Amino acid sequence: MSADMRAMQTSAIGARAILHEVTVTNDLPLLDNWATLVVTSPPYANNFDYADATRLEMTFFGDAVGWGDLKGIRRQLVRSCTQASTGHSGKVRELLSDPSLDPIRSEIEGVCSELKSVRETKGGRKPYHGMIAGYFVDMATAFQKLRPKCAPGVTMCFVVGDSAPYGVYVPVERWLGELAQAAGFGEFEFEKTRDRNTKWKNRKHTVPLHEGRLWIRG
């Protein structure tokens, strides 16, 4: 990789790229119309407990002792798992009424309603309906924050995967694309890179899933 980078730097034509690593959940320290390329892999809905991983990492490095030290940080995390959505399950109606969800409202309300019903039949009774509502509100907010910072004709690459909590399918990449368009971006397309939920016989549901690159332009 190092050799490849040196070779490309030697033969590169044009100005060098200026890179900024930023967290979209915070205010972006960028000039308006600045970014021409955005590359990110946001949290997958219900695929990984980022809240617990953050606690583990910060505890290891001595920056935190317990959950109490992470309250401020947890509020900045995208609500992508039930652990990060704690305290929001009772506010699903409020989340679903957020204007940012208007482009997908008819679909997401149906999915959350089904998740709420299925929850009553499960022992763990996990509030996936609240997690899904919070996840897409957070991602819609991210697109709204990105739009003024992106130049006309920008290209964005989001590495994402779809989801099926309790076996209820959530078309993540299409909903994200539609939320991006509502925030002022242009066309989008999804490039699948691999299938998911196909290896293990003890998986909790058999809904086929995938991951890939969501390209958003304009």
Q: Is residue 6 one of the residues assigned to a domain?
A: no
DSSP-assigned beta bridge partners for residue 40 = 158
- The pLDDT assigned to 69 comes to 73
- In one-letter notation, the amino acid at residue 54 is T
The rounded mean pLDDT for the chain is 86
Q: Is residue 2 one of the residues assigned to a domain?
A: no
32-41, pLDDT tens digit by residue?
A: 999 999 999 9
- The pLDDT assigned to 87 comes to 54
Tokens of 21: 């690593």
DSSP 100: G
Q: Is residue 126 one of the residues assigned to a domain?
A: yes
**pLDDT surpasses 90 at 118:** yes
- 60, 68 Cβ separation under 8 angstroms: no
Q: Is residue 95 one of the residues assigned to a domain?
A: yes
Tokens of 4: 């490849």
Q: Is residue 46 one of the residues assigned to a domain?
A: yes
- The pLDDT assigned to 180 comes to 98
- The pLDDT assigned to 53 comes to 73
Say how many domains are in the chain.
1
pTM here? 0.82
More confident residue, 124 or 147: 147
Tokens of 218: 């304009």
More confident residue, 204 or 190: 190
Q: Is residue 7 one of the residues assigned to a domain?
A: no
DSSP 163: B
Those residues with Cβ within 8 angstroms of residue 86's Cβ, 6 or more apart along the chain or in another chain = none
81-108, pLDDT tens digit by residue?
A: 655 555 555 588 899 999 999 999 999 9
49-76, pLDDT tens digit by residue?
A: 666 677 788 888 888 777 677 666 656 6
Phi, psi of 3 (to 5 degrees): -65, -40
Q: Is residue 8 one of the residues assigned to a domain?
A: no
- The pLDDT assigned to 51 comes to 66
Across residues 25-48, what is the average pLDDT?
Answer: 85
Domain around 51: 17-217
Q: How confident is the model at residue 213 (pLDDT cuts 50, 70, 90)?
A: very high
